[in-house]
Amino acid sequence: MRFFLIPLAAAAIPLVANPYTQFMVNLMLVYILVAVGFNLVLGNLGQLAFANTALFGIGAYTGAMLMAHAGWPFWLVIVPAGVAGAAAGFLASVTALRGIRVYYLAIVTLAFGELLRWSYIHGERATGGTDGLAVPRADFFGLALDSETARFYVFLVIVTVLVKALHNLLRSKIGRAIVAIRDNELATASLAIPTGRYIVLAFVLSGFVVGIAGSLFAVLIGRVIPESFGLIELILHFAMVLVGGLGSLFGGVLGAVALTALPEFFRGFPGMYEMFFGGLLIVFLLVQPRGLAALAARWFPALRERYYRER
Amino acid sequence: MLELHDVSVSFAGLQALRNVSLSARGGEVRALIGPNGAGKTTLFNAITGYVPLSAGRIALDGKAIDGLSPHQIAARGVRRTFQNGGLFPELTALENVLAGLHSRIEASFTGILFGSRSARAAERAALARARELLKSLGVAHLADQPVKSMSGGQQRTIEIVRAVAAEPPLLLLDEPAVGLAPPLRAQLVELIRRLAGEMGIAVLLIEHAVDLVMAAADAVAVFNGGVKIAEGPPAAMRADPVVLEAYLGHG
Amino acid sequence: MFALQLALSGLAQGAIYALVALSMCVVNRATTVVNFGHGDLVMAGAFVVYLFVVLAGLPFVASAILAVALLFILGVLIELGLIERIKAGPHIGFALMCIAFGYVLRGIARAVWGREVLPMPTVFNLPPVFLGELVITADALVIFAAVGVLLIAFFLLFYRSSAGRVMQALCQSERGAALVGINVRAFHGVMWGVGAALGAVGGVLVAPITLLHPGLGASFLIKGFAAMTLGGFGSFGGAVVGGLVLGVAEQLVGGYVSTKLIDITAYLVIILVLALRPNGLFGRAIAEKV
């Protein structure tokens, strides 16, 4: 129950934030989902993967297309966006069932991710091609999400529910199986755990969460374009997970909160974005590879990642 | 309950095991001894599905298991420890043992996601059992320590706890005594005898320490060069000329 | 005829892919690290040669040599300065480090280049060669010649010389080599330098025939992986064959199906090969069944 203190405290933010700041906070909520979803594969499963922006994108496009072409209200597209992400996660990782591992699996995810992005560009009328799709006004059970504050509360609920579910998952046999695979896959198999299936499960869950994040992103930005979901965006995802803390749920949150606002500063300077985030990643890898969460855990041991429930 | 018939294993032209026949029965401790490279760990890997057979059959309770994948074989009640240590380094001793209980925890996926009462109860039961197991082996104080920071002997003990957590009918221990101080070795012997005697587990044990083998084993199989050269009660093996030749004969 | 012409231009492209794949393979075999920033090193090679030719006005060949030399040094520096420093950490750390410096290179290129896509002025003012109805452009000729010479030199060096034998030994057992007194760190540094330099040659060769942009690196990374996957990971010969086959396949697909598919041929190759025949043509078994 201590878990809900943070979201409850956060509920007070709109009282003090101006619309621009509120927009940034909303974007942080989106990236919290992106980071914790990615961390499941990168940090907990320990599998290098390049498909995260593709999963993000497919959720965004699914949400946008259902809203723009089929006229669905926003609340109805959230789960389909997640399911699309989950399906993509499944396809990106399915070769793991045949024994494909480590770098080869990473390369498959890279190929798959780029293939997806190619399909957005060449999707013509469905996806709007390189110009993308405009996202119609979002409707949440009758409430029009046209103010940042309205979006905030809806996003906050969604993010809280998903992060709590992941929190439960990590502190269960499923979470343990996933990190066991990371630490020693051969030994994991000796405990009657079907490792291939758990690898795919991690990707599917990651895809679900990141896909939903995509649908939130579509509503927040108002437009989905292929460029937002390519390799340039990916360095931001990597940075959030590493800076926050590989394998730490709390780390994913920290990383997202810390880095979301930064890209704004690089808007006018071509190349700064890649240099900064690449450089940040290098610095952390050299100096603090376990991320900010590890630092926090040093002062507050209760924050250390635990794979079982005490109560 | 475990039967190996004429098992052969080869890698890239090298024959690691040749025509090995062996059996293991519940309640019995059978030690596998022999010089390094004799094929003992390869035999374990063959039984547990990590290497394919080039010939022969392996059956567990009458049903063939050769050709199955490791997790499938494990699911039929086989557990093992690894020669170079198979613990999960980033996890604590408690979490390692909990991983060993994976197959015993009855919690549905949705139950886990939403924190249902039954899922939480199953997890709580597993947690209690894991703590109990650690306590019974005198390592309860290590429960919350990450395994990578433990000594070799402590790690071996935790790995054994993890392997027996699910009460497997067949247990394969690969050099469990390495790095254990003498008082702990005595404890290990006692543990192995208890596993076989009280819990009826069939134990296959790879071990170099003669004293341990003498104290713990009911039967000994001697290997050399991928072939089983002798088999019988420990005392008899100790005096067997063929066995002595194998150990001492290579100068 | 049409098919042959396509195949010919495919071979020229493929020769470059072969070089890129080989350079990645060299780093992988020598240091067991898979360099996910390698495509950006290739891009850097093209970028540096562009800078020297267009901004400094140097002749192409001189610029090429300078570019390759600079990239060699960069490769060594990255290995010794970044990769060696995190040797003790988890493997995923290496991959992230490679990815990170790849982005830094891309960022530098974008900062200097801006948002444009830049053409290089024609470099080789040689007339094309006509083989019956087939046309071989001057660029293609240079590529064939350069790559051919390099490959022959590489294979001779690696498999026939004593230095090559040392390298082979090091690839197989580092601990053994260290015991014999070989400086393994220096070896790693040099091999990264060699890999970067070979990649830079690829970049230098591709510069005159492609529109250059900072994102080129990603494209090379994928093509390099596709070539290695097709040929079989860890096999030098496989990387070369894979690259050539990929180049030809791309052109054939583009000519007979749709030019839109040229970009994704590499992705499809990767997915299909790993799903259906993971070992590729010449590789060792890579699928683990647990």
Looking at the domain assignment, is residue A199 inside a domain? Answer: yes
Look at B88-102, C164-178, C206-220 and tell me which has the smallest mean pLDDT: C164-178
Task: Give the pLDDT confidence score for residue C285 in this predicted structure.
Answer: 64
Q: CA of B52: which chain C residue's CA is closest?
A: C289
Does the beta-carbon distance from B100 to A191 stay under 8 Å? yes
Query: Residue A179: which of B50, B91, B166 has the nearest Cβ?
Result: B91
DSSP secondary structure string for all residues of C62-123:
HHHHHHHHHHHHHHHHHIIIIIGGGTTS-HHHHHHHHHHHHHHHHHHHHHHHTT--BPPPP-
Task: Give the pLDDT confidence score for residue B251 in this predicted structure.
Answer: 37
Query: Residue C100: which of A107, A112, A282 has the nearest Cβ?
Result: A282
C175 residue type, one letter: R
How far is the CA of C217 from the CAs of C42, C104, C202, in angstroms? Answer: 6, 12, 11
pLDDT over 70 (residue C35): yes
pLDDT, tens digit (0-9, with 9 covering 90-100), for C181-211:
777 788 888 888 888 998 898 888 888 888 8
Looking at the domain assignment, is residue B15 inside a domain? Answer: no
B209 and B160, same domain (yes or no)? no
- Chain A CB contacts of C101 under 8 Å are 278, 282
pLDDT, tens digit (0-9, with 9 covering 90-100), for A259-285:
999 998 888 888 899 999 999 999 999
B155 and B202, same domain (yes or no)? no
pLDDT, tens digit (0-9, with 9 covering 90-100), for B152-201:
888 988 999 999 999 999 999 999 988 777 888 888 888 899 888 888 89
Looking at the domain assignment, is residue A191 inside a domain? Answer: yes
- Inter-residue contact B58 to B65 (CB < 8 Å): yes
Q: CA of C214: which chain A residue's CA is closest?
A: A271
* Percentage above 90 pLDDT, chain A: 66
Looking at the domain assignment, is residue A82 inside a domain? Answer: yes
Q: What is the mean pLDDT of residues C18-29?
A: 88
Looking at the domain assignment, is residue B6 inside a domain? Answer: no
Looking at the domain assignment, is residue B1 inside a domain? Answer: no
List the CATH number of the domain containing B241.
3.40.50.300
B43 and B94, same domain (yes or no)? no
B113 and B178, same domain (yes or no)? no
pLDDT, tens digit (0-9, with 9 covering 90-100), for A102-117:
888 999 999 999 898 8
- Inter-residue contact C22 to C154 (CB < 8 Å): yes
Task: Give the pLDDT confidence score for residue C287 in this predicted structure.
Answer: 64
Looking at the domain assignment, is residue B99 inside a domain? Answer: yes
Task: Give the pLDDT confidence score for residue A168 in this predicted structure.
Answer: 93
Q: Tell me the C-alpha distance between C285 and A98, whole Å.
A: 12
B163 and B185, same domain (yes or no)? no
Q: What is the mean pLDDT of residues B234-241?
A: 80
pLDDT, tens digit (0-9, with 9 covering 90-100), for A167-177:
999 999 999 99
pLDDT over 80 (residue A128): no
pLDDT over 80 (residue A126): no
Instruction: Indicate the pLDDT class of residue C9, thresholds 50, 70 and 90.
Output: confident
* Strand (E) or helix (H) holding B7: strand B2-11
B115 and B141, same domain (yes or no)? yes
Task: Give the pLDDT confidence score for residue A55 in this predicted structure.
Answer: 94
State residue A16 phi and psi, 5-degree precision: -115, -10
Does the beta-carbon distance from B99 to A180 stay under 8 Å? yes
Instruction: Indicate the pLDDT class of residue C288, thresholds 50, 70 and 90.
Output: low
User: A187 — contact with chain B (CB < 8 Å)?
Assistant: yes
Work out how many domains chain A is built from and give that number: 1
Task: Give the pLDDT confidence score for residue B248 in this predicted structure.
Answer: 63
| Mean of all residue pLDDT scores within chain C | 84
- Chain A CB contacts of B86 under 8 Å are 184, 186-187, 190
pLDDT over 50 (residue C75): yes
Work out how many domains chain B is built from and give that number: 2
State residue A230 phi and psi, 5-degree precision: -110, -160
- Chain B CB contacts of A209 under 8 Å are none
- Chain A CB contacts of C106 under 8 Å are 271, 274, 278
Query: Residue A48: which of C85, C92, C267 has the nearest Cβ?
Result: C92
Q: Is the four-CA dihedral A282, A288, A289, A293 of positive or negative sign?
A: negative
Looking at the domain assignment, is residue B48 inside a domain? Answer: yes
Last residue of a domain, one of B136, B167, B198: B167
User: Global pTM?
Assistant: 0.92
Looking at the domain assignment, is residue A250 inside a domain? Answer: no
Task: Give the pLDDT confidence score for residue C133 in this predicted structure.
Answer: 74
| Mean of all residue pLDDT scores within chain A | 91
- Tokens for C278? 């993971």
What's the maximum distance between 2 C-alpha atoms anywhere in chain A? 55
Q: Tell me the C-alpha distance between C65 and C74, whole Å.
A: 14
B200 and B152, same domain (yes or no)? no
Last residue of a domain, one of B167, B194, B229: B167
Looking at the domain assignment, is residue A308 inside a domain? Answer: no
Does the beta-carbon distance from C266 to A112 stay under 8 Å? no
| Mean of all residue pLDDT scores within chain B | 89
- Chain B CB contacts of C289 under 8 Å are 69
How far is the CA of A167 from the CAs of A30, A40, A135, A306, in angstroms? Answer: 17, 11, 31, 10
pLDDT over 50 (residue A250): yes
B157 and B172, same domain (yes or no)? no
Enumerate residues 6+ apart whose C-beta is below 8 A from A124: none
Does the beta-carbon distance from C289 to B69 stay under 8 Å? yes
Q: Min CA distance, B54 vs chain A (Å)?
A: 21
pLDDT, tens digit (0-9, with 9 covering 90-100), for C107-131:
999 888 776 777 777 766 677 777 7
Q: What is the mean pLDDT of residues A224-236?
A: 90
Residue A188: closest CA among B134, B42, B150, B91: B91
* Percentage above 70 pLDDT, chain C: 95
Looking at the domain assignment, is residue B211 inside a domain? Answer: yes
- Tokens for B220? 């000994």
Instruction: Indicate the pLDDT class of residue A253, thresholds 50, 70 and 90.
Output: very high
Let me know how long chain C is. 290
Range of the domain at B157: 90-167
B117 and B186, same domain (yes or no)? no
Task: Give the pLDDT confidence score for residue C259 in this predicted structure.
Answer: 81
Residue B22: closest CA among B2, B42, B46, B4: B4
B123 and B148, same domain (yes or no)? yes
More confident residue, A113 or A2: A113
Range of the domain at A112: 17-231
pLDDT, tens digit (0-9, with 9 covering 90-100), for A75-88:
999 999 999 999 99
User: A130 — contact with chain C (CB < 8 Å)?
Assistant: no
User: A270 — contact with chain C (CB < 8 Å)?
Assistant: yes
Residues of A numbered 193-232 whose beta carbons fall under 8 angstroms of chain B's beta carbons: which are they?
193-195
- Inter-residue contact B100 to B161 (CB < 8 Å): yes
Instruction: Indicate the pLDDT class of residue C286, thresholds 50, 70 and 90.
Output: low
pLDDT over 70 (residue C289): no
- Chain B CB contacts of C290 under 8 Å are 50, 69-71
The DSSP secondary-structure symbol of C162 reads: H
B147 and B209, same domain (yes or no)? no
Looking at the domain assignment, is residue A103 inside a domain? Answer: yes
Does the beta-carbon distance from C289 to B71 stay under 8 Å? no
Last residue of a domain, one of B133, B150, B167: B167
